[in-house]
Amino acid sequence: MDITPLMPWLVAISTILSLGTTVFTLVTSGAKKTATDLSTHKKETGERYAELEKTLDGHGARIQSIESEMKHLPDATAFMDLRLAVSEIKGDAGKQAEVVNGIARTVHRMENFLLSGSKSE
């Protein structure tokens, strides 16, 4: 059997396969690079997401501790009551100071009387 008449067809098929392989390689090499880049991006994004999640959990814990501490602080009405109580204490202290001043004047007069009474004898 002579394959000479088939030679042009075999050469054409070989050339087409060669060109097809070259085109396929060129087309898929970009896809491989894209797949590699996508894999790298997913990995980096996952790491950043884990860091952000950890930071967010830390902030959540901090906010919760601040909220629990703020429960112990006085609110506006308690602060106003405290302010009124302090002003009442100031008023009472002023009254006591007047009473003590009166007692001091009386003691001073008694002392002068006793001192002057002993000199006149």
pLDDT tens for residues 56-73? 999 999 999 999 988 888
Query: What's the rounded mean pLDDT across residues 6-26?
Result: 91
The band of 6, judged by pLDDT with boundaries at 50, 70 and 90, is confident
Q: Where are the domains of the chain?
A: 10-73, 74-121
**What is residue 100's predicted lDDT score, i.e. its pLDDT?**
93
List the structure tokens of 60. 């959540």
Q: Which spans in the chain are helix H?
A: 7-70, 76-120
Q: What are the CA-CA distances from residue 63 to residues 69, 72, 91, 101, 119 (Å)?
A: 10, 15, 41, 54, 78
Whether pLDDT at 2 is above 90: no
Weakest-pLDDT range from 17-21, 29-33, 56-60, 65-69: 29-33
CB burial of residue 117 (10 Å; 0-12, 13-18, 19+): exposed
**What is residue 31's predicted lDDT score, i.e. its pLDDT?**
75
Whether pLDDT at 81 is above 90: yes
